[in-house]
Amino acid sequence: MKKITNQHGDLLFEEANEIPKEAKRVEIEPGHVLERGEGVHIHSLEDVEGIKVYEHNGGIYVKVDSPVRINHREHGVQILTPGIKKKKIERVWDYEKNERRNVLD
């Protein structure tokens, strides 16, 4: 299991060694939404300087060159430090349905 570098509510950032060569770069601007939760709750990038976002097979990778802020109404601001990270969603076991599911934030 790779190291989790940040947890921002249900949103996790896992250490990655590299970005897949086939990944496509995503154009971003301040306020870019990395993940939508329930209702109006979003995890957004306040900064776009020093970060590049890529998509590959439904997965999101971020390459952080200099510290950037990620914001959420309930979780506040957190700093993503330099490195390559893969965005993941925290998962839990639903005992009623007997299945794993993503946490909704």
CB 61 within 8 A of CB 86: yes
CB 82 within 8 A of CB 64: yes
Query: Residue 92: its pLDDT value, please?
Result: 47
| Model pLDDT for residues 32-91, shown as the tens digit of each residue | 887 776 666 777 888 788 899 999 998 999 999 999 888 877 767 888 899 999 988 755
* CA quadruple 97, 105, 19, 3: dihedral, nearest 10: -80
- Residue 93: what pLDDT? 46
Say which DSSP state 19 is in.
Answer: -
pLDDT at 46: 83
Query: What count of Cα atoms within 13 Å lies in the side-chain half-sphere of residue 104?
Result: 5
| 32 Cα distance to chain centroid | 11
